[in-house]
Amino acid sequence: MAEITATLVKELRDKTGAGMMDCKKALSANDGDVEAAVDWLRTKGLAAAAKKAGRVAAEGLVAVASDGPRAAVVEVNSETDFVARNPQFQAFVATVARVALASGGDLAALAAAPYPGTGKTVAAELTGLIATIGENMTLRRVAVLEVPHGAVASYVHSAVAPGMGKIGVLVALESGAASETLDGLGRQVAMHVAATNPASLDVSSLDQALVERERTVLSEQARASGKPEAIIEKMIDGRIRKFYEEVVLLEQAFVVDPEQRVGKAVEAAAKAAGAPIKVGGFIRFALGEGIEKEASDFAAEVAAAAR
């Protein structure tokens, strides 16, 4: 049997873009023949997956999974919305969300976790799915929320299947109240988060750099009015309070009942339940946020395809 050297492995990786271990396996299976190893990787779908890896994947699905006082949210991207409606892709995303419950919110741990019923890792299963479906896909991010006592509620907006859609939200409620109360309130707050996209849970956790930037803008606007400095300071304080009401979850007008703040709604629910309820945190994933999508000229694409 031919010796599988590092040079051979590098040559095969350069030709196919496949992983180092996959290249070593391919060369071993083909007695060091690089061209035969290329074909071997292609038949396994590994070379094809590598070739697709450079394409922008900004579509896909956000999915949630819950298990009592713990819940996870994941984002798995594809190149097109068409693939997001593929039952095979949806089954993969739903399974990954369930696996993510034990990941601690660590993306590398999730990628390396066993994919149920296959003997593969999540990352290896995704590689195979890329080859099968024919589009680049990426396991982009994961987060987990957990409370010692209470519940973590979830909500998915624009759902295309149970627990999967365009926006996924988790809301942690710390309480000894009945699960029915926490589930109902938590879902309402999660819907609110999906709609308003708050910057922080409360005033103390809001990024102070963001506050100072807002204060600077408001100060310049107020001083342009020509009013006395004492009046200007009051104007700035009032506008900062208004800013908090716009971006801080517990200070926002509750979308379910705009006559009260989210914080007051939680207090009212706690009083009715006869037990304290604290919003311990929230997570909001919106599909594709932060990904720079390629601008496309559909007419040019059709013309190119015709040629």
Which structural domains are found in the chain, ordered by start? 6-52 (1.10.8.10), 59-200+279-286 (3.30.479.20)
- How much is the pLDDT for 11? 82
User: What does the pLDDT read at residue 111?
Assistant: 96
Q: List the end-to-end C-alpha distance of the chain, in Å, as a whole number.
A: 47
Q: Are 110 and 74 in contact (CB under 8 A)?
A: yes
Specify the pLDDT at position 154: 96
SS3 of 99, please?
A: helix
Integer Cα distance of 202 and 178 in angstroms: 25
Strands (E) located in 25-111? 59-67, 70-78
Segment-wise mean pLDDT, segments of 10 residues, the chain, 307 residues: 82 75 86 83 62 63 94 94 92 97 95 95 93 88 96 94 96 95 96 96 92 83 78 85 94 95 97 96 93 55 47
Cα separation, 96 vs 65, in Å, equals 9
pLDDT for the residue numbered 307: 44
- What pLDDT, on the 0 to 100 scale, is given for residue 220? 79
Confidence (pLDDT) at 45: 63
Are 221 and 243 a contacting pair, CB within 8 Å?
no
Q: Which of 187, 168, 206, 303 is nearest to 256 (CA)?
A: 187
